[in-house]
A and B are shown apart, each in its own frame.
Chain A
Amino acid sequence: MSVQQVTQPLSRQKPRGEGLSEEARVGYLFVAPAIILVVVIAFWPIVQSIWFSLTNYLPDYPQYGSSFVGLQNYGKLFQDVTFTGSIGWTVLFTVVSVALEFVLGLLFAIVMNQKFYGRSLVRAAVLVPWAFPTVISAVVWKNLIWQNNTGAIPGFLHAIVPGLVPSDWAPLASSSSLIAAMIVTDVWKTAPYMALLLLAGLQVISSEVYEAGRVDGASVMQRFWRITLPLLKPAIVVALLFRTLDAFRAFDIFFVIAGSALQSMSLYAYNNIIVSAINFPLGTAAAVCIFIGTIIISVIYVRGFGAQIVSA
């Protein structure tokens, strides 16, 4: 992207001679360090991971050598129910948590965009959950909210609605309540982030548009559906894209709250690449699958919804 930005204005002067103009050449020279950096720290490791996922190389056992095995690792990967299960959990987690975060975030953003006494205090307060590192909020929520004897929720639900949950209810013990617990934790933490991105979008919408709407007699709901949402769309799409990618690669919440009992794709990759000494190829194959997944998500957002990442 940076290449385009720099060369576009320069290209207008291009017809003077053949090839690149002096200024274009200097321009490339200036961006070269950035490009080299990206290639070295982002592109090269990705290529290497893809290569590792096609071999049987084990870093802990270099004496076994490394040979090309084609797509064998991917075959094994998709036979592993832990991995196929992790795809399902990851997708469920992503879809539900991002949807809830969007609704809540939009609500917060609209409230924070109004003029009222103590607005800056509210804006700061809403952001507090986002300021916690995810591991910390996950540990706190696990022990103080969800854990059966030390957490607030199981006892609270049992006390207010007798019979709703059994006295020995353990939200973390079954997969369905476990994923729900993780989604709620994630929504608590990242809805403010969503709100912040959407608030930025709201602030660019000119108040004149709303005044014109009011003069024409548009109701509050009409103004929301016909003015706010369409004008907010670029901000919404970018915010959703960021959050979807983040949620899809979720590691820390699963690592802390679920342990190995319910794995996200990233946690599966971690367990095989870092913890295991013998499943390295399988782990890199899983990592490549995550990479492909993120590309698919990005393409859907950019092509399908017209996300304009650069200008936003």
Chain B
Amino acid sequence: MHFIRFYHDPLTCGRIAFLWRQETVKKSAFVRRFLSAAAVTGLVATGSLTAAHQTARAAGPVTIIFWNGPDTTGTVPTLIKNFNNMEKGKIKVVLQTQSATTDNYFTTIQRGLHAGSTTPDVFAGDVIWPAQLAGQNLVLPVDKYFSKSEQSKYIPGTIQDVQYKGHIYGAPWFTDFGMIYYRKDLLQKYHMAVPTTWEQLQSEAKTLVAKKAVKEGFVFQGAQYEGLVCDALEYIRGAGGYVYPVNKANSTQAQAAKGLQTMASMITSGASPKAVTTYQESQTNNDFVDGLAAFARNWPYMWANAQAKGSKVIGKVGVTNMLHEPGQQGYSTLGGWWLGINKNSKNPDASWTFINYLISMSAQQYWAIHGGHAVAMIAANKSDSVVKALPWLPSVTKNLNLVPRPTSPVYNDISLEMQKDFHGVLAGSMSASAAVKSTDSFIQMAEARFK
């Protein structure tokens, strides 16, 4: 979901029809269950044929199909063009853009790989994927391409993310973490300090709305989807609670519930609009960039949009680390994207050549500056040109505490449960302590049964 930066939602229903057009669909568990499910529910009808699937098999350059989430900054096509020019006659990378909602993108790729598809060769994916994909043996281990000394050039946490049971399954591309965006100009005008606790943010947001300085105080990702999990974990961890690992979660249920209460109080206090329970990243981004909101929780990408042509808040935006309860520390949910190779790819060597280019110094710098991301390569983030484009980067990363999402081969199910529980709290239909208990018992069950 970290890729959503548009004024529209993705069209995602093509995936089912698309699965039928994979080149190699082996008879598999998925095909069987898809057939049965489709016949009964009539899901096939949702097919809208979008992506083109030309896979050149002729002589000449090797074609590498690259799947990525949408990127409207146009940075990825430029990087691919550069690479194709460098490797002219040898390798040609073709980009196929996937759904902007990571949950849907993941379903597409996981089901495709499960069915034995040879497309894509290379894909960019969310950091919660490696355990699920490697656990089901769907991605190629890249130990032979990616030496330990090379790995040490990247942020250690991002390397850990792509490891599973002693092997490395890809390369980190960029890293994501929650940040608080605020309107410098409004805080100055109304003599307010940059908030350090949720309480402070809430009271400042309320005041700004009451004074009609803005329409909305604070916007974040409150819709029932993966993004809500990321936001809620920050409140939970920022109150001293855990949802994972299980033993820590058990002993900190009260703190976790306090965190969720704080999140829900954003709406009940009037600091956040009621509509925030329908917000994903794109709505958060739209409201903040259109100058409708005073504060926003979002990923680093929004900085570039806030400074881009058409933004109503150019030069008026400040960024600070994630907030917390008094006496606690702020934690940002760890996101970010990595690059993996399909286990069935016909061209693993060429695939790695492309990945290796994307994680090289020049490509990482270009991606940071034009894509607006904190990238995985340590030296690139520290380089002058990147710091000039992302001035908040040094200060935010200096005080950055990260909270990972649970690592599990059945993360999808854990996430669905958390989405349901946390959204219940936001909508007022579930108490915070009941939500925490329900999440904890589900994760315990998943840990015990699906390790």
Interface residues of chain A, those whose CB is within 8 Å of chain B, are 41-42, 45-46, 48-49, 52, 59-62, 82, 133-136, 139, 142-143, 147-150, 167-168, 170, 172-173, 249, 251-252, 255-256, 259-261, 266, 269-271, 273-280, 283-284, 287-288, 290-291
Contact = CB atoms under 8 A, between A and B. Distances in A.
A82 B103 contact: no
Nearest to B223: A259
A169 B446 CA distance: 39
Interface of B: 7-9, 11-13, 29-30, 32-43, 45-46, 48, 103, 107, 111, 136, 215-216, 223-225, 273-275, 277-278, 283, 286-287, 290, 292, 409-410, 412-413, 416, 419-420, 423, 446, 449-450
B42 A135 contact: no
Contact of A172 (B8, B48, B215, B275): B275
A290 B446 CA distance: 28
B278 A170 contact: yes
Contact of A52 (B36, B42, B290, B419): B36
Nearest to A178: B278
A252 B13 contact: yes
A148 B449 CA distance: 42
B287 A149 contact: yes
A291 B43 CA distance: 12
A45 B37 CA distance: 8
A150 B419 contact: no
The 9 A-B residue pairs with the shortest CB-CB distance, nearest first, are A170-B275, A59-B29, A45-B39, A148-B275, A49-B36, A287-B40, A172-B278, A45-B36, A48-B36
A266 B42 contact: yes
A277 B413 contact: yes
A48 B35 contact: yes
A135 B278 contact: no
A150 B107 CA distance: 28
Contacts of B45: 251-252
B42 A260 contact: no
Contact of A48 (B7, B32, B223): B32
Contact of A269 (B41, B107, B450): B41
Contacts of B36: 45-46, 48-49, 52, 284, 287
7 contacts: A41-B39, A46-B36, A168-B216, A172-B278, A260-B224, A266-B41, A270-B41
B260 to A, nearest CB: 17
Contact of A278 (B103, B275, B413): B413
Given A61-B450, A135-B11, 9 more contacts: A60-B29, A139-B8, A143-B7, A147-B283, A150-B7, A173-B274, A261-B278, A287-B41, A288-B40
Contacts of A173: 274-275, 277-278
Contacts of A172: 275, 278
B273 to A, nearest CB: 5
B50 to A, nearest CB: 10
A284 B37 contact: yes
Main secondary structure of the interface of A (DSSP, over half): helix
Main secondary structure of the interface of B (DSSP, over half): helix
B420 A260 contact: yes
A261 B34 CA distance: 24
Contact of B40 (A147, A149, A291): A291
A154 to B, nearest CB: 9
A279 B37 CA distance: 13
A133 B292 CA distance: 33
Given A59-B30, A172-B278, A270-B41, A277 B225 contact: no
Nearest to A263: B224
**Most chain A Cβ neighbours within 10 Å, of B39, B223, B446:** B39
Contacts of A150: 7, 283, 286
A251 B419 contact: no
Nearest to A271: B416
Contacts of A269: 37, 40-41
A123 B146 CA distance: 63
A42 B41 contact: no
A198 B352 CA distance: 59
B211 to A, nearest CB: 15
Contacts of A135: 11-13, 46, 48
B299 to A, nearest CB: 19
Contacts of B32: 48, 59
A170 B273 contact: yes
A142 B41 CA distance: 24
B311 to A, nearest CB: 15
**Most chain B Cβ neighbours within 10 Å, of A41, A251, A278:** A278
A62 B267 CA distance: 44
Contact of B273 (A168, A259, A273, A284): A168
Contact of A256 (B9, B290, B449): B9
Contact of A290 (B29, B40, B107, B225): B40
A220 B285 CA distance: 56
A152 to B, nearest CB: 14
A43 to B, nearest CB: 9
A149 B29 contact: no
**Most chain B Cβ neighbours within 10 Å, of A82, A134, A150, A283:** A150
Contacts of A147: 275, 278, 283
A261 B223 CA distance: 8
Given A170-B273, A249-B42, A255 B223 contact: no
A252 B9 CA distance: 13
Contacts of A82: 420
A273 B409 CA distance: 16
A288 B413 CA distance: 22
A279 B413 contact: yes
Given A142-B9, A274-B107, A275-B107, A251 B43 contact: yes
A136 B37 CA distance: 23
Contact of A255 (B13, B283, B416, B450): B13
**Most chain A Cβ neighbours within 10 Å, of B9, B40, B287, B420:** B40
A141 B443 CA distance: 37
B9 A275 contact: no
B92 to A, nearest CB: 31
Contacts of A255: 12-13, 46
Given A61-B450, A133-B48, A45 B13 contact: no
B419 A148 contact: no
A293 B33 CA distance: 21
B217 to A, nearest CB: 11
Nearest to A249: B42
Nearest to A82: B420
Given A170-B273, A271-B416, A276-B412, A136 B43 contact: no
B390 to A, nearest CB: 27
B420 A273 contact: no
B29 A62 contact: yes
Nearest to B209: A168
